[in-house]
């Protein structure tokens, strides 16, 4: 690409490029708002307008450097890192990972200060099902699975299994154990909850006419049997109504679950996705229960570090990829090093796209990508609070996950829960809230306008329901806005055409890996897509070299 | 004496009587409180009495500066006596937890009360003197009522008020009496008073405050921890990790951490001999020893009886605790200065974190943590923690774990045993009777078989072969029972412990 290429970007295209501003990611350097309220300090890091300006700047500069690499991975979220991890395992070291932010990890990033580490988004991984062989192998390679017992059941590292007490729910002034409401509910509620769970248990063990699990993770291994995929044609709310589930407590619980995993309410999430939440996890372990989770103070940042540790030299941060162009035997990728304000161009044999699909029209304007319109993402906020120890309330003791019944947000997790030392003098709370009152676009706009003080008072008001005195205990609160946090599995999306189309590699040169391809935003799906793309590359890269393939 | 002299109004004499009674009561309360909270009742009482009388002297001296509006002043001071006297004991109880210079606040409040009371009688005498009363009559009547009041107070206080009302309520009660007198005088002489409105307002305010205090004194008491100890507190400090309280009754010193009894000097030798010496009979050649917890140094004291021991590393989280048992003379007498011995290295660190990173092997490990009554402590009894210990214990080494009471909490006790076994240790459970604790349990653990390699030392007061043999027998009511393994992800021991102790408490 020569200097004249600058002119190739029309004004219209530029405006489209500015659409990058909607990327859910945040520029660490240029946090949008950083205000400090009088009593409680902290900052808001959020969806950034700055990217549009960056692109403008980039295209005004001459190309500083042209580079060549075998494989270029765009995005250092879990999917990008997994791809790199397996490339390296197969002996392919000529690759680079480009990351927009000044830190790696995407939705698995974490924060760290004198008190300890805390997650900025993804914070746990449920024990995987035995079918998820690659993930189990990865965990074993990294000592999170320390061995297997006589029955072949994995033995998990005890520091990684979530410590007791795990979950509690605040209902009418009291913390009950577990998140399924059981306190002060009617007989009818109880019966419906039991019936619902029994139904989910059936789905959990159900197989389609193709012999596959009806619902499983990775989602791609699930059955294509219509008997089940038809659930994708109606909302979870409609399905529940059809099945006669009316209990307020039950509906609250299911809504809580789908918000937690998909950031999408009952009224929009497809019934297939809703059932998938309850029926897909079939984990087992020698030293844990099937529904136990793995967690660390830095959340999935812990897994992210394991993935990244042997490939740090392949990763370049503060690189905005703003244009990708397919050539006959290679791919040209335009990159802006925004820290040093340098424009770079890469020639790569193959590219792994480990960033959200919604960016396709902006980065590859020449490619047909109508289907991308079907990809819709929910905005979230995550707040990290540092507090003095406070009265944690009546009932079950302070737990890892603390949820308020009919609360505004999804409650908070205690980031320091997995510490083993005595006498913790500062607590770290990570508060989660999907923004679902209005449609994502409106919510995103509203979120960007809010100040630190706005968030603070909103969050405190929510937490006060359970902890009337929490305000006095808060030492600091930082808020992060995730503009496009999670793909939304709305009706028809998971079993629709668009999702399939998006997964097609382009001429065996550009491969797609981001977790949004699953329609379900979880670690396992990011892992699956990262691994699958690595496999494709390895196959293309050394088609004849069977050994390489055998290695992974 | 002038025959025509008007009779001294009864109301004023009655106030003398009450002022005297209340004054003495405040003094007695202060003395009781001081000796109760700080121990050493003889010196505390004598300091308080001296200080109080001296302050009264100051008050009397100051009375000469009052010339005008004497009745106003009299009421004003009466109200102040009521207020300060009434709330002193609550203040002292509440701040005792948190204040370092507790004594000085105590002495300050006592002096203040003394000064006010000291002002009252001379002021009253002046008032009477300005009227037409005979001087002799004034002196005789005033002092008669004064001393009668004092007698009444000193008899009623120990017999009626202390047992019936307790310290805090008694204070409020007399504060209210004081205020009532002020109100009566106010009412009676209202016309003669210059600052009547202010005084009325003040009087009502004080009255309401004290009445509320009287009503809610139970609440106040429950905030104030001091009332939960039966014995006199001789030391109290809130360290970053726990509340350390030492009490003393005669020669018996007790240590409480977060209100849980840790030892009683009267029978701790039983506990500590049982903790250390069986372990030492199994350990072949004990040279390097690790002690986890046990910041009081008593376990180390027992260990130092073995000349083969070259070094003892003690890990205790709380520097306040180890410093106390290193520096306080009364306590170093108890642990025979063990923590200052050159063989002993004290590290104020978190035991779990320390063990996780430690690379040194020890011949024996003594684990003397507080009972698993919360999730943080429960982690120190988990299979994960015990597994970490296997990397710290020499292959030939032995461990002993204090494991709560197999009588009060049998499931908890056997759960510790089972958890130790679950990580590959052979165990040997035993228990002894420690009067101030009850029947107390320990578990020995090792990868080796339990073959006695050394004999018990002769100079012990409690432990010997016979006793140890007996202690390995568990009667039916505390016999081994099936339990789960305590893990970080089930914290089952804390659950057992809570259930079992809830039953007996
Ligand atoms: C609030 C929240 C909580 C979550 N909690 C959990 C949880 O507990 N468990 C769980 O399993 N999952 C959770 N998730 C889902 C999480 O998204 C996935 O687990 C996983 O981390 C997604 O990884 P990814 O690689 O697919 O995408 P991402 O993490 O989105 O990675 C994409 C990366 O690409 C970068 N990038 C984007 N555009 C460009 C560009 N133009 N140029 C260069 N780089 C670019 C981004 O900065 C980012 O680093 C949570 C998500 C959110 C938002």
Report the CATH number at residue A522: 3.50.50.60
Q: How many domains does chain B have?
A: 3
Tokens of B14: 């009655």
Say if A366 falls within a structural domain.
yes
Please tell me the number of Cα atoms within 13 Å of A519 on its side-chain side.
27
Nearest atom (ligand 1) to Cα of A124: 8
Distance CA B471, CA B279 (A): 13
The pTM is what? Answer: 0.80
Structure-model confidence comparison of residues B189 and B44, the more confident one = B189
Q: How far apart are the first and last CA of chain B?
A: 69
Q: Which of A162, A166, A423 sits opposite B241 (nearest CB)?
A: A423
Say if A449 falls within a structural domain.
no
Tens digit of each residue's pLDDT (9 = 90 or more) over A336-363: 998 898 999 999 999 999 999 999 998 9
Per-residue pLDDT at A3 exceeds 50: no
Tens digit of each residue's pLDDT (9 = 90 or more) over A267-312: 999 999 999 999 999 999 999 999 999 999 999 999 999 999 999 9
Looking at chain A, the whole-number percentage of residues with pLDDT higher than 70 is 90
Please tell me the number of Cα atoms within 13 Å of B224 on its side-chain side.
21
Asked whether A122 lines ligand 1 (CB < 6 A), one says: yes
Residues of chain B in contact with residue A425, where contact means CB-CB under 8 angstroms, are 240
Per-residue pLDDT at B264 exceeds 80: yes
Residues from B contacting A (CB-CB < 8 Å) are: 240-242, 317, 350-353, 356, 374-377, 379-380, 382-385, 387, 487-491
The phi, psi pair for A9, rounded to 5°, reads -85, 110
Report CA(A312)–ligand 1 centroid distance (Å): 18
Q: Which of B488, B489, B496 to mutate to test the interface with A (most CBs of A within 10 A)?
A: B489
Mention every residue, 6+ apart, whose C-beta is less than 8 A from residue B504: B408
pLDDT, residue B38, reads 64
**How many interchain CB pairs under 8 A, A with B?**
59
| Least confidently predicted of A477-491, B30-44, B73-87, B211-225 | B30-44
Residue B368 annotated as catalytic: yes
Say if A542 falls within a structural domain.
yes
| C-beta separation of A384 from A429 below 8 A | yes
Tens digit of each residue's pLDDT (9 = 90 or more) over B12-53: 888 878 888 888 888 888 887 776 666 556 777 888 889 999
Residues B48 and B109 in one domain: yes
Tens digit of each residue's pLDDT (9 = 90 or more) over A210-234: 999 999 999 999 999 999 999 999 9
Q: Between chains, do B488 and A163 touch, taking CB under 8 Å as contact? A: yes
Per-residue pLDDT at A381 exceeds 90: yes
The residue contributing the CA closest to ligand 1 atom 19 is A523
Q: Which of A126, A289, A422 to mutate to test the interface with B (most CBs of B within 10 A)?
A: A422
pLDDT, residue A48, reads 52
Say if A365 falls within a structural domain.
yes
Instruction: Consult the annotation and say whether B477 binds a ligand.
Output: no
- Band (pLDDT 50/70/90 cuts) for residue A244 is very high
Q: Between chains, do A423 and B317 touch, taking CB under 8 Å as contact? A: yes
Closest CA to B323 of B261, B226, B235, B248: B235
Tell me which chain A residue has its CA closest to the CA of residue B382. Answer: A158
Q: Average pLDDT of B436-453?
A: 95
Q: Return the beta strands (E) in A284-426 as ranges.
A: 293-295, 315-316, 319-326, 331-337, 342-353, 377-387, 401-404, 412-414
Domain assignment of residue A309, given as a range: 5-16+50-109+300-371+490-550
Structure-model confidence comparison of residues A458 and B256, the more confident one = A458
| C-beta separation of A361 from A371 below 8 A | no
So what's the ipTM on this one? 0.86
Asked whether A77 lines ligand 1 (CB < 6 A), one says: yes
Neighbours of B154 (CB within 10 A): 15
Residues B327 and B447 in one domain: yes
Say if A115 falls within a structural domain.
no
Residues B458 and B400 in one domain: yes
Report CA(A297)–ligand 1 centroid distance (Å): 18
Residues B85 and B108 in one domain: yes
* Closest CA of chain B from A534, distance in Å: 35
Which of these three, B166, B200, B224, is where a domain ends? B224
Q: Average pLDDT of B274-294?
A: 96
Residues of chain A in contact with residue B356, where contact means CB-CB under 8 angstroms, are 420
Nearest atom (ligand 1) to Cα of A81: 25
Domain assignment of residue B319, given as a range: 267-502
Looking at chain A, the whole-number percentage of residues with pLDDT higher than 90 is 80
Structure-model confidence comparison of residues B29 and A486, the more confident one = A486
Query: How many separate helices (H) and strands (E) can be counted in chain A?
Result: 18, 21
Asked whether A485 lines ligand 1 (CB < 6 A), one says: yes
Show the 3-state SS of B156-223.
Answer: HHHHHHHHHHHHHHHHHHHHHHHHHHHHHHHHHCHHHCCCHHHHHHHHHHHHHHHHHHHHCHHHHHHH
Q: Average pLDDT of A117-126?
A: 97
Asked whether A435 lines ligand 1 (CB < 6 A), one says: no
Residues of chain A in contact with residue B382, where contact means CB-CB under 8 angstroms, are 158
pLDDT, residue B41, reads 63
Mention every residue, 6+ apart, whose C-beta is less than 8 A from residue B295: B314, B316, B317, B318, B321, B322, B325
Q: Which of A421, A424, A426 to mutate to test the interface with B (most CBs of B within 10 A)?
A: A421
Asked whether A514 lines ligand 1 (CB < 6 A), one says: yes
Q: Average pLDDT of A22-46?
A: 53
Say if A93 falls within a structural domain.
yes
Q: How many domains does chain A have?
A: 1
- Band (pLDDT 50/70/90 cuts) for residue B97 is low
| C-beta separation of B394 from B362 below 8 A | yes
pLDDT, residue A545, reads 53
pLDDT, residue A35, reads 41
CATH number assigned to the domain comprising residue B40: 1.20.1250
pLDDT, residue B328, reads 85
Mention every residue, 6+ apart, whose C-beta is less than 8 A from residue B334: B253, B265, B268, B296, B298
Distance CA B335, CA A462 (A): 52
Residues B304 and B181 in one domain: no
Tell me which chain A residue has its CA closest to the CA of residue B379. Answer: A420
Residues B348 and B489 in one domain: yes
- Band (pLDDT 50/70/90 cuts) for residue B147 is confident
Asked whether A74 lines ligand 1 (CB < 6 A), one says: yes
Per-residue pLDDT at B102 exceeds 80: no
Note every long-range contact of A228-234, with CB atoms under 8 Å and residues 24 or more positions apart, other chains counting.
A228/A272, A229/A272, A229/A495, A231/A270, A231/A271, A231/A272, A231/A275, A232/A270, A232/A271, A232/A272, A232/A273, A232/A491, A232/A492, A232/A493, A232/A494, A232/A495, A232/A496, A233/A270, A233/A271, A233/A491, A233/A492, A234/A270, A234/A271, A234/A491
* Closest CA of chain B from A288, distance in Å: 8
Tens digit of each residue's pLDDT (9 = 90 or more) over B161-175: 877 787 888 889 999
* Closest CA of chain B from A182, distance in Å: 20
Residues B188 and B202 in one domain: yes
Residues from A contacting B (CB-CB < 8 Å) are: 158-159, 161-166, 287-288, 292, 397, 420-425
Asked whether A234 lines ligand 1 (CB < 6 A), one says: no
Nearest atom (ligand 1) to Cα of A380: 1
pLDDT, residue A184, reads 84
CA B381 to chain centre: 28
pLDDT, residue A91, reads 92
Nearest atom (ligand 1) to Cα of A79: 25
The pairing of strands A167-171 and A401-404 is parallel
Residues B393 and B473 in one domain: yes
Closest CA to B322 of B255, B385, B386: B255
* Closest CA of chain B from A422, distance in Å: 6
Residues B455 and B385 in one domain: yes
Q: Determine the residue of A26, A82, A110, A121 to mutate for testing ligand 1's pocket, defined as the one with the most ligand atoms within 8 A of the Cβ atom.
A: A121
A63: β partners: A343
Q: Between chains, do B487 and A424 touch, taking CB under 8 Å as contact? A: no
* Closest CA of chain B from A392, distance in Å: 14
Tens digit of each residue's pLDDT (9 = 90 or more) over B364-403: 999 999 999 999 999 999 999 999 999 999 999 999 999 9
Per-residue pLDDT at A28 exceeds 50: no
Which helix (DSSP H) or strand (DSSP E) does residue B243 occupy? strand B243-249
Report CA(A308)–ligand 1 centroid distance (Å): 15
Distance CA A469, CA A471 (A): 6
| Least confidently predicted of A182-196, A362-376, B55-69, B88-102 | B88-102
Asked whether A79 lines ligand 1 (CB < 6 A), one says: yes
Residues of chain B in contact with residue A397, where contact means CB-CB under 8 angstroms, are 374-375
Tell me which chain B residue has its CA closest to the CA of residue A166. Answer: B489
pLDDT, residue B268, reads 95
Distance CA B378, CA B499 (A): 14
Mention every residue, 6+ apart, whose C-beta is less than 8 A from residue A63: A1, A2, A3, A343, A344, A345
The phi, psi pair for A166, rounded to 5°, reads -90, -55
Q: Determine the residue of A20, A107, A431 to mutate for testing ligand 1's pocket, defined as the one with the most ligand atoms within 8 A of the Cβ atom.
A: A107
What is the residue-averaged pLDDT of chain B?
A: 88
Q: Determine the residue of A122, A519, A530 to mutate for testing ligand 1's pocket, defined as the one with the most ligand atoms within 8 A of the Cβ atom.
A: A122
């Amino acid at each position: 690409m020569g200097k004249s290429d600058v002119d190739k970007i029309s004004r219209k295209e530029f405006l489209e490029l500015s659409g990058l501003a909607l990327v859910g990611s945040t520029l660490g350097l240029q946090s949008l708002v950083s205000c400090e309220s009088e009593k409680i300090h902290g900052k808001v890091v959020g969806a950034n307008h700055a990217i549009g300006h960056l692109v403008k700047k980039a295209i005004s500069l001459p190309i500083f450097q042209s580079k060549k690499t075998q494989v270029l991975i765009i995005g250092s979220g879990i999917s990008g890192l997994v791809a790199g991890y397996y490339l390296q395992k197969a002996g392919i070291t000529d690759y680079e990972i480009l990351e927009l932010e000044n830190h790696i990890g995407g939705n698995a990033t974490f924060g760290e200060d004198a008190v300890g580490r805390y997650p900025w988004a993804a914070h746990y991984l449920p024990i995987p099902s035995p079918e998820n062989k690659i993930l189990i192998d990865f965990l074993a390679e990294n000592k999170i699975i320390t061995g297997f017992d006589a029955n072949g059941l994995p033995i998990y590292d005890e520091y990684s299994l979530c410590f007791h007490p795990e979950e509690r729910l605040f209902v009418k002034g009291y913390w009950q154990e577990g998140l399924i409401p059981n306190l002060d509910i009617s007989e009818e509620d109880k019966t419906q909850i039991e019936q619902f769970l029994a139904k989910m248990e059936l789905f959990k063990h159900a197989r389609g006419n193709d012999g596959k699990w009806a619902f499983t993770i990775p989602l791609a291994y699930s059955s294509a049997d219509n008997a089940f995929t038809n659930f994708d044609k109606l909302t979870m709310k409609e399905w529940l109504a059809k099945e006669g589930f009316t209990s307020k407590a039950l509906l609250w619980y299911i809504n809580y679950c789908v918000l937690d995993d998909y950031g999408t309410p009952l009224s929009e999430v497809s019934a297939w996705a809703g059932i998938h939440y309850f029926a897909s996890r079939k984990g087992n372990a020698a030293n844990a229960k099937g529904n136990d989770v793995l967690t660390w103070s830095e959340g999935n940042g812990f897994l992210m570090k394991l993935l990244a540790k042997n490939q740090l030299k392949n990763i370049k941060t503060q690189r905005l990829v703003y244009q990708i162009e397919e050539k006959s035997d290679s791919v040209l990728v335009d990159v802006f090093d925004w820290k040093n304000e340098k424009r770079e161009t890469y020639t790569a044999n193959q590219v792994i796209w480990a960033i959200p699909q919604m960016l396709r029209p902006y980065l590859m304007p020449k490619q047909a990508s109508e289907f991308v319109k079907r990809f819709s993402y929910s905005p979230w906020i995550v707040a990290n609070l540092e507090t003095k120890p406070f009265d944690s309330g009546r009932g079950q003791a302070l737990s890892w996950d603390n949820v308020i019944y009919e609360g505004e947000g999804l409650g908070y997790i205690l980031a320091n829960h997995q510490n083993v030392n005595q006498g913790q003098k500062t607590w770290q709370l990570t508060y989660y809230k999907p923004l679902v009152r209005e449609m994502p676009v409106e919510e995103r706009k509203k979120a960007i306008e809010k100040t630190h003080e706005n968030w603070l008072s909103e969050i405190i008001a929510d937490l006060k329901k359970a902890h009337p005195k929490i305000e006095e205990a808060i030492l600091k609160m930082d808020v992060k806005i995730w503009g496009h946090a999670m793909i939304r599995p709305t009706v028809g999306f998971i079993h629709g055409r668009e999702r399939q189309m998006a997964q097609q590699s382009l001429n065996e040169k550009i491969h797609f890996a981001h977790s949004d391809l699953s329609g379900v935003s979880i670690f396992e799906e990011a892992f699956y897509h990262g691994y699958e793309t690595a496999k494709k590359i390895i196959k293309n890269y050394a088609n004849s070299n069977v050994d390489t393939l055998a290695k992974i | 004496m002038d025959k025509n002299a008007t009779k001294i109004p009864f109301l004023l004499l009655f106030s003398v009587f009450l002022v005297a009674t209340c004054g003495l009561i405040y003094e007695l309360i202060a003395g009781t409180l001081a000796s109760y909270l700080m121990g050493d009742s003889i010196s505390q009482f004598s300091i308080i009495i001296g200080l109080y009388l001296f302050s009264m002297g100051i008050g009397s001296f100051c009375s000469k500066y009052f010339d005008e509006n004497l009745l106003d002043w009299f009421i004003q001071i009466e109200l102040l006596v009521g207020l300060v006297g009434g709330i002193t004991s609550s203040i002292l109880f509440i701040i005792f937890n948190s204040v370092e210079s507790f004594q000085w606040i105590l002495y300050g409040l006592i002096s203040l009360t003394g000064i006010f009371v000291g002002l009252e009688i001379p002021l009253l005498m002046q008032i009477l003197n300005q009227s037409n009363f005979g001087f002799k009559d004034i002196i005789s009547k005033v002092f008669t009522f004064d001393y009668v009041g004092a007698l009444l107070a000193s008899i009623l206080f120990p017999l009626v008020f202390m047992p019936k009302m307790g310290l805090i309520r008694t204070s409020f009660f007399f504060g209210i009496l004081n205020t009532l007198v002020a109100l009566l005088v106010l009412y009676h002489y209202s016309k003669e008073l210059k600052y009547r409105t202010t005084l009325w307002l003040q009087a009502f305010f004080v009255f309401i405050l004290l009445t509320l205090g009287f009503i809610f004194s139970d609440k106040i008491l429950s905030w104030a921890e001091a009332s939960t100890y039966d014995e006199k507190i001789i030391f109290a400090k809130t360290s970053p990790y726990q509340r350390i309280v030492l009490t003393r009754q005669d020669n018996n010193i007790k240590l409480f951490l977060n209100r849980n009894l840790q030892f009683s000097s009267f029978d701790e030798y039983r506990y500590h001999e049982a903790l250390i010496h069986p372990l030492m009979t199994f350990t072949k050649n004990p040279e390097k020893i690790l002690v986890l917890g046990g910041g009081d140094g008593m376990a180390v004291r027992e260990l130092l009886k073995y000349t083969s021991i070259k070094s003892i590393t003690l890990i205790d989280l709380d520097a306040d605790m180890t410093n106390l048992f290193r520096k306080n003379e009364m306590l170093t007498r108890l642990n025979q200065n063990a923590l200052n011995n050159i063989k002993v290295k004290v590290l104020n660190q978190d035991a779990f974190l320390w063990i996780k990173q430690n690379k040194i092997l020890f011949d024996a490990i003594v684990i003397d943590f507080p009972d698993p009554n919360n999730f943080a402590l429960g982690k120190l009894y988990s299979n994960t923690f015990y597994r970490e210990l296997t990397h710290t214990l020499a292959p030939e080494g032995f461990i002993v774990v204090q494991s709560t009471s197999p009588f009060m909490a049998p499931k908890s006790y056997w759960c510790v045993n089972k958890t130790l076994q679950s990580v590959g240790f052979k165990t040997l459970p035993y228990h002894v009777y420690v009067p101030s604790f009850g029947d107390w349990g320990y578990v020995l653990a090792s990868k080796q078989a339990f073959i006695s390699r050394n004999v018990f030392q002769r100079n012990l007061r409690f432990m010997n072969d016979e006793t140890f043999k007996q202690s390995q027998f568990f009667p039916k009511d505390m016999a081994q029972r099936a339990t789960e393994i305590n893990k970080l992800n089930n914290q089952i021991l804390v659950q057992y412990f809570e259930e079992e102790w809830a039953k007996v408490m």
